[in-house]
């Protein structure tokens, strides 16, 4: 990543106030140049009935590989060990345990005692097992015992029939494109004149048979639905500027011309009650009811979701907790438990490190800041002490914080430190309530100083005299529950800031 690191270092230099006349162009530079480069890391998106997550993809020769332990862990209980030069795996989902055995450099493996041949050789590195992405369609169902749909080239994987076909229907009076889905969606929406782009990261939408479509009726020219690098994208080009709105609890997407209000829904039996209309940013057209529905005020500030960052990873192992246990593995396991607890509370999570990949502190901060999360949580582990330690940055708070001003990189946290203290206090309070030993401290933990949001670092220590107790599933779950509960308690204070 030499180019990315060089760009970030250059940006940090330019962020110094004495070298800036205007921060807007530099902010655009960060968003349009640095963050897309960071985002080019290859990731496999996994969509399951109860969860969504991503794992890193590594290239071995011409083939793409994925860590099998990382892939299975969010789906159930996983145990793996190396014995007699073989990697032995046990997975327990909703049924009985399934045992598998792999050997480094071999295509053949055993699953429940039955032979299976992969599309490429199994790779064992640092005690972790990697399998070809092209083998997942046939390999994974034998382990998790669920149906699977794999878009290997697009790096998307759908479990137990969660995939939803995405179809745009052209409606008239006025002309608009409408997609209705069985489950809520929450795409990222970007508008550049007549080009409208919707990016689906967490939504398991898939294209229908026709991915590219041309229109002969204004205001639409064409639409293109595509998949690449773990995400789906819908591009709509119009003859005039377009807008998108989500309604029906997130299940209906409407695309129309800017300042055009969608047609009203069918009237109810009572003619005195006006029909509801889809949200619109403009004035009512002649096709709407005589008493139009109120146009909702545009949402300001950031949505309430969490940037979750598992410490270390890849070439950086972190602390060696035992002879066979590295900090990077504990932080990833705990981060995933926190993610599940947050999502169970309706809080969206952005994973800064979803798999075993290497990231610098600057890359973590750039990724977290670009996500516009309300809270950033960095997860660490240690052998000393017991319980949980909650850290906040050691920067002086601003007397009159102005978060709309351009923030210096090294002290970006100063504008948010009061909120960081509040989040740390909420997490500590939940730990105390659950009888978990907790300490709140200030510490120069990277990259807290660079985060433009409420930010904390949590460090899990053993619960008993043995270091191995740090891996106890119930202990990790109790801590994850306390952290998630504290974050949920802060929603009313931080949402929309």
- Of 195, 226, 257, the last residue of a domain is 257
Confirm whether 8 is domain-assigned: no
Confirm whether 5 is domain-assigned: no
Closest by alpha carbon to 110, among 143, 133, 69?
Answer: 143
Shared domain for 316 and 424, answered yes or no, is: yes
Angle formed by the axes of helices 473-489 and 417-433, to 10°?
130
| 330: CB partners within 8 A, 6+ apart | 321, 381, 460, 470, 471
Shared domain for 446 and 359, answered yes or no, is: yes
| 298: CB partners within 8 A, 6+ apart | 281
In the chain, helix, strand, coil percent, each to 5?
30, 30, 40
Q: What is the CATH number of the domain that holds 79?
A: 3.30.457.10
| Dihedral Cα 318, 323, 325, 326, nearest 10 deg | 10
Q: What are the pLDDT digits (tens) for 237-296?
A: 999 999 999 888 889 999 999 876 544 444 333 333 333 333 333 333 333 233 333 333
Confirm whether 225 is domain-assigned: yes
Shared domain for 66 and 122, answered yes or no, is: yes
Per-residue pLDDT tens listing for the chain (497 residues): 333 344 444 444 444 444 434 444 444 444 444 444 444 578 899 999 878 888 888 888 889 999 999 899 888 888 888 988 899 999 998 788 999 999 999 999 999 889 999 999 999 987 889 999 999 999 999 999 999 999 988 999 999 999 999 889 999 999 999 999 998 888 888 888 889 999 998 899 998 866 788 999 999 999 999 998 889 999 999 999 999 998 888 899 999 998 765 444 443 333 333 333 333 333 333 332 333 333 333 333 456 889 999 999 888 888 888 877 889 999 999 999 999 899 888 898 988 988 888 888 988 998 898 888 999 999 999 988 899 999 999 888 776 666 655 678 888 899 899 999 999 999 999 999 999 999 998 888 889 999 999 999 999 999 877 888 888 888 999 999 999 999 999 998 887 66
Shared domain for 170 and 132, answered yes or no, is: no
Shared domain for 384 and 311, answered yes or no, is: yes
| Dihedral Cα 324, 332, 93, 232, nearest 10 deg | -140
Shared domain for 123 and 234, answered yes or no, is: no
Shared domain for 240 and 341, answered yes or no, is: no
- Of 141, 159, 177, the last residue of a domain is 159
Shared domain for 237 and 337, answered yes or no, is: no
Q: What are the pLDDT digits (tens) for 128-154?
A: 899 999 999 999 999 999 999 999 889
Range of the domain at 124: 58-159
Confirm whether 442 is domain-assigned: yes
Shared domain for 226 and 339, answered yes or no, is: no
Confirm whether 177 is domain-assigned: yes
Q: How far apart are CA 299 and CA 173, in angstroms?
A: 28
Shared domain for 467 and 332, answered yes or no, is: yes
| 150: CB partners within 8 A, 6+ apart | 133, 136, 137, 140, 156, 157, 158
Shared domain for 401 and 373, answered yes or no, is: yes
Q: What is the CATH number of the domain that holds 332?
A: 3.40.630.40
Shared domain for 182 and 146, answered yes or no, is: no
Scanning the structure block, which residue is given the tokens 């992969």? 118
Strands 212-214 and 220-228: antiparallel
Confirm whether 62 is domain-assigned: yes
- Of 127, 159, 191, the last residue of a domain is 159
Q: How many domains does the chain have?
A: 3
Can you give the pLDDT at residue 100?
A: 95
Q: What is the CATH number of the domain that holds 175?
A: 2.60.40.3470
DSSP state of 268: P
């Amino acid at each position: 990543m030499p180019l990315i690191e060089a760009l970030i270092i250059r940006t940090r230099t330019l962020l110094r106030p004495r070298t800036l006349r205007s921060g807007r162009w530099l902010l655009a530079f960060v968003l349009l140049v640095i963050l897309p480069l960071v985002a080019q890391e290859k990731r496999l998106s996994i969509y399951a009935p109860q969860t969504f997550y991503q794992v890193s993809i590594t290239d071995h020769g011409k083939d793409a590989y994925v860590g099998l332990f990382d892939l299975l862990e969010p789906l159930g209980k996983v145990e793996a060990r190396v014995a007699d030069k073989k990697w032995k795996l046990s997975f327990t989902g909703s049924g009985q345990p399934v045992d598998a055995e792999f050997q480094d450099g071999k295509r053949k493996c055993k699953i429940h005692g039955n032979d299976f041949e992969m599309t490429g050789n199994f790779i064992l590195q640092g005690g972790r097992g990697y399998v070809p992405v092209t083998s997942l369609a046939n390999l994974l169902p034998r382990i998790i015992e669920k149906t699977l749909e794999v878009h290997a080239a697009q790096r998307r994987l759908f479990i137990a029939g969660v995939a939803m076909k995405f179809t745009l229907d052209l409606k008239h009076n006025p002309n608009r494109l409408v997609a209705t889905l069985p489950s809520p969606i929450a795409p990222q929406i970007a508008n550049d004149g007549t080009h409208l782009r919707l990016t689906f990261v967490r939504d398991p939408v898939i294209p229908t048979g026709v991915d590219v479509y041309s229109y002969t009726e204004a205001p639409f020219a064409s639409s293109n639905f595509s998949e690449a690098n773990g995400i789906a994208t819908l591009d709509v080009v119009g003859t005039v500027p377009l807008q998108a709105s989500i309604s029906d609890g997130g299940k209906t997407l409407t695309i129309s011309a800017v300042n055009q209000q969608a047609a009203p829904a069918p009237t109810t039996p009572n003619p005195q009650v006006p029909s509801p209309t889809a949200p619109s940013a403009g004035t009512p057209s002649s096709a709407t009811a005589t008493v139009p529905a109120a146009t909702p005020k545009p949402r300001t500030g950031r949505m309430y979701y969490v940037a979750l960052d598992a410490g270390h990873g890849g070439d950086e192992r972190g602390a060696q907790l035992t002879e066979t246990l590295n900090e990077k593995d504990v932080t990833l396991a705990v981060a995933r438990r926190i993610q599940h607890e947050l999502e169970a509370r309706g809080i969206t999570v952005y994973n800064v490190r979803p798999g075993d990949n290497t990231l610098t502190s600057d890359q973590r901060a750039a990724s977290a800041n670009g996500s516009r999360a309300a809270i950033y949580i960095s997860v660490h582990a240690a052998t000393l002490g017991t319980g949980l330690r909650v850290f906040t940055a050691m920067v002086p708070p601003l007397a009159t914080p102005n978060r709309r001003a351009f923030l210096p990189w090294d002290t970006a946290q100063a504008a948010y430190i009061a909120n960081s203290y509040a989040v740390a206090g909420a997490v500590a309070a939940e730990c105390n309530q659950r009888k978990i030993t907790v300490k709140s401290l200030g510490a120069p933990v990277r990259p807290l100083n660079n985060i433009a949001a409420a930010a904390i670092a949590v460090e899990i220590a053993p619960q008993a005299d043995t270091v191995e107790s740090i891996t106890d599933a119930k202990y990790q779950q109790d801590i994850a529950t306390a952290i998630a509960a504290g974050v949920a308690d802060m929603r009313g204070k931080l949402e929309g800031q």
